[in-house]
Chain A
Amino acid sequence: MVDATGTRRADVLVAGGRVAAVGDDLDAPGAQVLDAGGCLVAPGLVDLHAHLREPGREEAETVETGARAAALGGYTAIVAMPNTEPAIDSAAVVRQVLDLGATAPCDVRVAGAITVGRAGKALAPMAEMAALGVRLFTDDGAGVQDARLMRRALEYASALDVTLAQHCEDEALAAGGHMHEGEWSSRLGLPGIPAEAEELMVARDIALCRLTGARAHFLHLSTAGSLELVAAAKAAGLPVTAEVAPHHFTLTHAEVAGYDPVYKVNPPLRTAADVAAVKAALAAGVVDAIATDHAPHAPEAKEAPFDQAPPGMLGLETALALALGELDLPVERVLALLSWQPAAIAGLAGEHGGPIAEGAAANLCVVDPAAAWVVEPDLLASRSRNTPYGGRKLRGRVRHTILRGEPVVIDFEAQR
């Protein structure tokens, strides 16, 4: 058993959606027994960053299929990003997505938009969304370009006990780029997005954070420079948190050489030095969470010229294995980055990611760290197939997932 309090060996008894007992050789006649031999029992994983596409793009993903993929990946809670059609920028759309998630095999939470229609012009009604439990706000897919508007948003948010999360990208500097600007973009003849397009907005938002005193969360940071800025902001005591996505510590821009749009993602795959910096920042505690940026796209959308394909790749079903395989971190640290640390950022600490103790919500995952498997895109639960890891051999897989006491995944199989 691994949680924020440490690692120990024990049986866990679950009843009525809660942990009923933790101890050696528990005996519960008639109870369903899930074998966890050789496995780690941990609090369920929490994803701060999933694009579930519903409403609007149900051909790519639905709340239901995204939640199933999440459960198979060990997640008991995911935060749905608001770049749907329409955007999640009002209580009505928040309620719609929460309703869709009510019966899903994963606890589906919602991030609201900062601005109306994610258009970056006017503040969205954050208070009415916060009243429905929304704790994260972001225009993800785009950053809030207007510094004054972002300042107002931070100030306004600070009274609601919510966190603003930024997709850091200065659009003027990014100038419609499709991959990381550098050696490969130059060779391939694709317009690039310089690392500085991300770093400019990270620096700006750190300044705004200092100005307003409001909390800020940085989504999917991908460059060494961004991580240095965050490290310095944290050292200065500013209330900032940061996440990175698995592909940014696994893949580099060299993958784009074949022009396969499956490798198109925003922020783009960066250099090997950036990958090393992301890993180092995870090890050093500069980064608080690993978030998937799970971004499904229907096959026809990705069977397009690289510069016409939408950015994004699947992540929910592969994040844990990649974190275990790519990061040279103890499993306790990997689980902290995937479970209790993001749970705290999402304002879910009471229900997800907490220590496994009597009375705690029974949101758990059972990880087989030795399970070897090959990613087969056609076997993924997501409605889309745009994983860059097809055919890749991974080690470490979620064997069971328990949501509110119900085993939604048993022996690597989704139960509903």
Chain B
Amino acid sequence: MKHLLAVNDLGAEGIEEVLRVTDSFVEVSSRAIPKVPALRGKTVVSLFYESSTRTRLSFETAARRLSADIMTFTAPTSAIAKGESLRDTVETIQAMGIDAVVVRHGSAGVPQLIASWIDASVVNAGDGWHEHPTQALLDCYTIRQRRGSLDALRIAVVGDVKHSRVARSDVAAFALLGADVTLVAPPTLLPPSLEGWPVTVSHDLDAVLPKVDVVYVLRLQNERMKEALLPSLREYTASYGLTRRRADLLADDALVMHPGPMNRGVEIAADVAALENSVITTQVANGVAVRMAVLYLLLGSGQDLAG
């Protein structure tokens, strides 16, 4: 594997391999010295056109724990802010002799474009509404940690699927690993077409919750109100928020997940996020190990795997 651009590039086997290697990095992360020399001499660039401190730090921590060198380009502080074109920026970075670029961009498809321009490995750290594959991998890892496997699990993905890169990656990954996925959202927050999506759709969260093993709550961005996609946050919460009352509809062992950052009181109630079956902080913790696995597999496992 040369790049990680989208979940479907990995396929079920690829995901399983990442998760297996993640097991080893979880062990590394638990040590007093959570660092291995695996990627000594490699240079990883984080190229973040959108500010996302959480994801950037997670990737940079992963790279450091693999002993790679890190360069950081973020939008407000670099040539990006001076109007340099995407291609020029990327070629400049490439000229510095680097091994991988971790890209976050507000436009869908940018990691794919960059991969077509340079020799280094490209890791998609979130592109527009398109994909956020490492988030899906850490979500799968977290579920697998708690439930053993995703096969035949029933997973509800609730909220703003239309504008969510997390939802696109998660739906693909969950389905590849054998889960049954139900999207629960108002029609205005669903993609215009679900042709080819391995999902069923519901607009009734109360009816779905008792039947699922995992409820995955998506973040609702406030700007959606301005686009007339919803009448009000209040109405959204009333219909689609994971309130305490709704959380009680869940099976005892059902997991509550959220990609963060949460809008507490909107898509998820504060006391629900704090429930024992909420694995939201575990997701964050697993993020570093999953990203170590991805960087290791891309940069450390040898050219034989390319392709």
Q: Could you tell me which A residues sit within 8 Å of B by CB distance?
A: 181-183, 185-192, 194, 258-260, 300, 303-308
Set B105, B110, B113, B130: member contacting A188, Cβ < 8 A? B130
The answer on a CB contact under 8 Å between B112 and A300 is no
Set A189, A192, A194, A305: member contacting B168, Cβ < 8 A? A189
Q: B131 — which chain A residues lie within 8 A by C-beta?
A: 189
The answer on a CB contact under 8 Å between B196 and A258 is no
Q: Provide the bound-state CA to CA distance between A191 and B86, in Å.
A: 21
- Is residue B41 within 8 Å, beta carbon to beta carbon, of the partner chain? no
Say whether, besides A188-B130, A305-B105, A259 and B86 are in contact (CB < 8 Å).
no
- Is residue B192 within 8 Å, beta carbon to beta carbon, of the partner chain? yes
Min CB distance B64 to A, Å, is 29
Q: Provide the bound-state CA to CA distance between A34 and B191, in Å.
A: 57
Q: Provide the bound-state CA to CA distance between A307 and B108, in Å.
A: 8
Q: B130 — which chain A residues lie within 8 A by C-beta?
A: 188-190
The answer on a CB contact under 8 Å between B87 and A303 is yes
Q: Provide the bound-state CA to CA distance between A259 and B122, in Å.
A: 15
* Closest chain B residue, CB of each to CB of A304: B86
Q: B112 — which chain A residues lie within 8 A by C-beta?
A: 258-259
Q: What are some 30 contacts across the A-B interface (CB < 8 A)?
A: A182-B192, A182-B193, A183-B195, A183-B196, A185-B193, A186-B195, A186-B197, A187-B196, A187-B197, A188-B130, A189-B128, A189-B168, A190-B108, A190-B109, A190-B130, A258-B116, A259-B108, A259-B110, A259-B113, A303-B85, A303-B86, A303-B113, A305-B86, A305-B105, A305-B109, A305-B113, A306-B107, A306-B108, A306-B113, A307-B108
Chain B 113-139 interface residues, beta-carbon cutoff 8 Å to A: 113, 116, 127-131
The answer on a CB contact under 8 Å between A183 and B107 is no
Q: Could you tell me which B residues sit within 8 Å of A by CB distance?
A: 85-87, 105, 107-110, 112-113, 116, 127-131, 165, 168, 191-197
Q: B87 — which chain A residues lie within 8 A by C-beta?
A: 300, 303-304
* Closest chain B residue, CB of each to CB of A259: B109
* Closest chain A residue, CB of each to CB of B113: A259
The answer on a CB contact under 8 Å between B195 and A308 is no
The answer on a CB contact under 8 Å between B113 and A194 is no
Q: B168 — which chain A residues lie within 8 A by C-beta?
A: 187, 189
Q: Which 4 A-B pairs have the closest CB atoms?
A: A259-B109, A189-B129, A305-B107, A186-B191
The answer on a CB contact under 8 Å between A307 and B128 is yes
* Closest chain B residue, CB of each to CB of A183: B195
Extra contacts, 9 of them, besides A186-B193, A300-B87 (Cβ < 8 A), are: A182-B192, A189-B128, A189-B168, A190-B130, A258-B109, A258-B116, A259-B113, A305-B107, A305-B108
Min CB distance B97 to A, Å, is 22
Q: B194 — which chain A residues lie within 8 A by C-beta?
A: 186
The answer on a CB contact under 8 Å between B109 and A306 is yes
Q: Provide the bound-state CA to CA distance between A190 and B106, in Å.
A: 11
